[in-house]
Amino acid sequence: MQRPQLSGDRVRSRWWYWIAAVPVVFVFWLVTVAWVTFAIMLEPSLLSFTSDSPVVHAVSVSLVAVGIPFAVLTVVFPFAVFQDTQAIHRAEPGWEPPSGNYSLVGLLGLVAAVVSGVLTRSFSIAVIIGLVLSVPFALYYLRERHDNLGVP
């Protein structure tokens, strides 16, 4: 049995994978923070720091593993939104997401990351802020894309 062709099948773009990676990586990071916090609480001597809470240490340790992917996703996200909306326009499926507006909203996380990085001089805080601000729009865009194209 063959599935019916969705209007999203005509859109020859896989840029939405990058957009979908934003909330996926964020959830993975939250799970990592929870796991590392739990490990530190079970064995506080794992880290020699004593002034901060286990959650602060867990955030720091987890960013060692996912800090660079966060930064890459924050930079690629507005470009992926623009490329995907352009591919949707070329396919003419009936839904015309505003490329410029959506790209500017996608750029918000990157701008906030740069500004917070300059103000705080902390790469960790900048990366977290950039990704956290990108997650709601990524979820919104993916829902709209699904509602209008059937994919993802």
**Neighbour tally for 2: CB within 10 Å:** 4
Give this prediction's pTM: 0.87
Give the rounded distance of the alpha carbon of 111 from its chain centre: 14
3-state secondary structure of 18: helix
CA distances (Å), 63 to each of 66, 82, 98, 145, in order? 5, 28, 34, 30
pLDDT of residue 7: 57
pLDDT in tens, 91-121: 999 899 999 999 999 999 999 999 999 999 9
For position 62, what pLDDT does the model report? 83
Tokens 């839904």 identify what position?
95
The rounded distance, in Å, linking the Cα atoms of 148 and 67 is 33
Q: What is the mean pLDDT of the chain?
A: 89
Low-confidence stretches of the chain (pLDDT < 70) are 1-9, 46-51
What pLDDT does residue 90 have? 93
